[in-house]
Amino acid sequence: MNRRTDDIINRTVIMNRLDSITSEMGIALEHSAHSPIFAEACDFACCICDEAGELVSQLSGIPILATAGSFSVKSVLRKFGTAITDGDVFIINDPYDGGNHLPDIGIITPVFYEDELLFFCVSRAHHGDIGGSTAGSYNPKATEIFQEGLRIPPTRLMKNNEMIMDVLELIRLNTRNPDMLTSDFLAQIGSNRLASRRIKDMLSTYSVATVKKAVTESLIQTETLTRQRIEAIPDGTYSAVDYIDDDGFQTEPVKIAVAVTIAGNRMLVDFAGTDAQVKGFINTSVVTATCAAGIAALWFLGKDIPRNSGAFRCIEVNLPVGSLVNPNLPAPMTLCTLTPASEIIGTIFKALDQAQTGRVSAGYHRYLGPSFYGVDPRNGRYYVGFSFCSLGSGGAMKGHDGKPYIATLSNFGGVKAPNIESNEVQYPHLTLHHEMDGDTAGAGEYRGGCGMKFAFEITADKGDVVNFGDGIKFAPYGLRGGQQGSLNRSIFVHDGENIIMESKEAPRHAVKGDRIYLNTSSGGGWGDPMKRPLQKVYDDVQDEIISLATAENVYGVIISEAGIDFEKTEKRRNNS
């Protein structure tokens, strides 16, 4: 073999090995964490960055967190620089300095080999509580970030592989579940330590120079591939807007405006025209907005492009200062990784679909679900729970119906729904029903996924419920003639009274026997419903995804007890 062939083989093996390490990090984190948010919902991400903070691998976890790992590492490098030593571990969550939002805490471990800093291992995970005025740290009535929880700038958590107890105690004293928080920190530290050990094993096989060359060349190769894909898109500016229901204070919708400009092999995602920052907690950090833009662009450009810094070099993002997507301190922003991150991705999809259709999906559901907290009467312990079971569904795209019961666009299905029985063990509530909601899927040649019906009853003597999210006023969009999905709806039954809940509410007191009913939004459809294959329409009726009336009135398919009436169907479709 010649030298060039050797380099290609080494690069392929080394990069795949780094991917396998990040995957193993995620498995370790899932299996060792205490919190159901980690162990059941898998609301975390793991990645590896090089010595300059460039993202190298992010195979495990949800992309809105993994992609942000580079920002956190660069914040650590800016603050500590050459003072970083072997045996250090850093912690960060500040959305104004390298973080997504306060509940997502990053643990960063530098990897030294032969006294040289070569990599950073990063685990970022959503913690159940990080302080603030509301348990769970989602406070829909917060007007500044100080009400949302503890801000942690880049901070050294361990030195010489020993915990700095003063730092840990400061964080513990500002949270409602300090033991669980500490346990989950240790799981993140352990996940990073495992990755560090695996990287050092690899470095004992390949020289440092070989590994560094493989990483550098891989980022360059990814950049080249990404630029080739951008260059294949017709030059021009493609614009779209979408709206968030409100910010929890004003009733007016909040606009997201996006203009995607393609010029040769460059892509600019410009948010000029997006509304100014708002009073409520739907503002988004620069990290989250930038990551959301990159996620949307790379979906469009192709799944075969590695999700590393080489790809993100090609995507310029303009975030006007003082806007919803780049607010001034101390704007609150805890909701941002759900809303508006998902809406940012969807708006970019709508813009890019104008350039080349069939490469992105119709609208996904918008998250809406309560958190709940109090003391569990079964064990006397304080609990903070989240309604991960109230997921909606995905939007359709050319060739594919929308996925049912999936996490929001910003999470790309990475967050999982907990097992119902496990959920009832972990929290004092009883699930009443959990099923698909018929006749909700956005119609189209390819239809969206159905919405869901989920309800549970509080079994603790008392507690509190916080509803947060969006999608009560604006439904997931359809594409190319596809119809919108359905809206979210929440009902709180308190002392026998039905209360329709807003999407962003202050905590409500709950008592034993109170119930929460959730109808989650469905995915939007793609293409003309009258072009949906007859057999698929028939199958949807049999599966109770749509009714006979919808089959006839929306899809133009007449179905009797004997099956499809082809003659009447042809006439119905021809006359529509």
Q: Where are the domains of the chain?
A: 3-206, 232-360, 361-532, 534-574
What would the mean pLDDT of 363-385 be, rounded to a whole number? 93
**The pLDDT value given to residue 304:** 93
Q: Which two tokens stand for residue 469?
A: 């999210």
What would the mean pLDDT of 444-451 be, rounded to a whole number? 97
- 285 within 8 A of 336, measured Cβ to Cβ: yes
Q: Is residue 1 over pLDDT 60? A: no
Q: What is the pTM (predicted TM-score) of this model? A: 0.96
**The pLDDT value given to residue 576:** 74
User: In Å, what is the CA distance from 16 to each residue of 214, 312, 315, 560?
Assistant: 11, 19, 24, 54
- Between CA 448 and CA 483 the distance in angstroms is 9
What would the mean pLDDT of 64-80 be, rounded to a whole number? 91
What is the tens place of the pLDDT at every residue in 108-125?
999 999 999 999 999 999
User: In Å, what is the CA distance from 131 to each residue of 65, 150, 228?
Assistant: 20, 6, 46
pLDDT range class, residue 60, cuts 50, 70, 90: low
- Between CA 97 and CA 155 the distance in angstroms is 12
- Between CA 47 and CA 23 the distance in angstroms is 9
What is the tens place of the pLDDT at every residue in 233-278?
999 999 999 999 999 999 999 999 999 999 999 999 999 999 999 9
- 452 within 8 A of 393, measured Cβ to Cβ: yes
**The pLDDT value given to residue 326:** 98
Bridge partners (DSSP) listed for residue 429: 458
User: In Å, what is the CA distance from 419 to each residue of 29, 324, 393?
Assistant: 18, 36, 18
- Between CA 550 and CA 527 the distance in angstroms is 16
**The pLDDT value given to residue 3:** 67
Give helix then strand counts, H and E, for the chain.
14, 22
**The pLDDT value given to residue 2:** 65
Q: Is the dihedral of CA 296, 297, 300, 303 positive or negative?
A: negative
Residue 283 CB partners (closer than 8 Å, separation 6+): 277, 324, 325, 327, 331, 332, 333, 336
**The pLDDT value given to residue 286:** 97
What is the tens place of the pLDDT at every residue in 165-211?
999 999 999 999 999 999 999 999 999 999 999 999 999 999 999 99
Mutual orientation of helices 208-231 and 3-32 as an angle, nearest 10°? Answer: 90
Indicate the residue type of 300.
F
